[in-house]
Amino acid sequence: MTIKGKTMETKRLTHSSMTCAKTCLRKYYFRYVLGVVRQREETPRRVGTLFHLGLELGRVPDRPDYPAWCVDDEDQYKMDCDWAIAAGMVDAYLKYWEDDAAETVHAELEFDVPVANPETGGVTRKFRAAGKIDKIIVADGRKMIMEHKTTSDSLEPDGTYWRRLMMDQQISHYINGARSLGLGIENTVAYDVTRRPGQRAKSVPILDGDGIKIIEDENGERVMKKNGDPRQSGGEGMTLKARPETPNELRARIREAMLADPEQYFCRREIPRVEADLEEYAHELWQQQKLLTACHNAGYWFRNTSACVMFRSPCDYFEICYQGLAVENGVPEGYEFKRPHSELTEGGKK
């Protein structure tokens, strides 16, 4: 199948777009060439976005407006609970790190720099390397990048999460970007990682005036024991009378759980880079732009069907690919067009 790309113009290589291209070139085409995105984000992504906004603001973010896909009370409750999870995480984070001595000297710092051939020094006109650095900090007299991350993985010292970071291109990408801005940083990134809690909204028992749970039968009548006391455990055909947990109750429960066992949820570690790592990354960056330039020129964006389902969730574009939908001039229900790299200043200037 041939998919014709748009006229090749100078584009931006970010950590996110390069990771996407490595995963599946067809997915890259949909997201970073056409700008097609799902209207409905999944909970982990939405919670992560709200959490990062909270750290940027230094407080719990306001509840966002309901998006277009919120068509009923169930959808709105789900959005409110996603906010509550993020709010509880921000509450716990700010409390846990309230005595942090690191000084922030730059925040939300963008870079947009040429991509050069490491062998010849020649610069491509097709791509520029870009990104947004969370913070530049000074800690113990040393200036370095700090990146805030959320994960569902374990934060055990020898766990896969930290070992994978030792190879992660983002660290080299950001160090090179900060160097290009003349910031005089150390060749290391301080990763400030917060583990997302597994708690979700639950049902809360409704109590009577004496603080006792209410068990009802199939007819909605309260079930009593033979001695006349209210029954406190269910049985066949019986239901515990309950209500949904409120977002504020969920927020408080998340905060308490994280602060009760902070080592499971908060960790900071430095991930260094030596010059050989940065040189290797320069070659990788050049190869990435060559591959994507070839795809743009040929109009071919091949699928990687091994990535259609990852972590038991289908790719955002699975149905579009499966049905062979043409989305260049319009998107199916549930999708919209959004500017590629919308997290960055348009045009690369700040």
- SS3 percent helix, strand, coil of the chain, rounded to 5, is 35, 25, 40
The whole-angstrom separation of Cα 91 and Cα 59 is 8
Is the separation of the CB atoms in 204 and 244 below 8 Å?
yes
Distances (CA, A) of 316 to 77, 146, 309: 23, 30, 10
Q: Write the DSSP symbol of residue 75.
A: H
pTM of the model: 0.86
pLDDT tens, position by position, for the chain (350 residues)?
455 545 567 899 999 999 999 999 999 999 999 999 998 888 888 999 999 999 999 999 999 999 888 889 999 999 999 999 999 999 999 999 999 989 999 999 999 999 999 999 999 999 999 999 999 999 999 999 999 999 999 999 999 999 999 999 999 999 999 999 999 999 999 999 999 999 999 988 888 888 888 888 888 888 888 888 888 887 888 888 888 999 999 999 999 999 999 999 999 999 999 999 999 999 999 999 999 999 999 999 999 999 999 877 899 999 999 998 888 888 888 899 999 998 898 765 43
Give the integer Cα–Cα distance in Å for 222 and 141. Answer: 67
**Direct distance between the N- and C-terminal alpha carbons of the chain, in angstroms, rounded to an integer:** 39
**Among the listed residues 102, 99, 180, the one whose alpha carbon sits nearest the alpha carbon of residue 146:** 102
Nearest to 34 by CA among 289, 284, 299: 299
Query: 11-199+248-348: which CATH architecture?
Result: Alpha-Beta Complex (3.90)
Computed from CA positions of residues 84, 85, 90, 91, in that sequence, does the dihedral angle turn out positive or negative? positive
**Distance from C-alpha of 335 to C-alpha of 332, rounded to nearest angstrom:** 6
If one counts every other C-beta atom within 10 angstroms of the C-beta of residue 157, the result is 9
DSSP per residue, 206-234 = PB-TTS-B-EE-TTSPBPB-TTSPBP-S-
Domain ranges of the chain: 11-199+248-348, 203-244
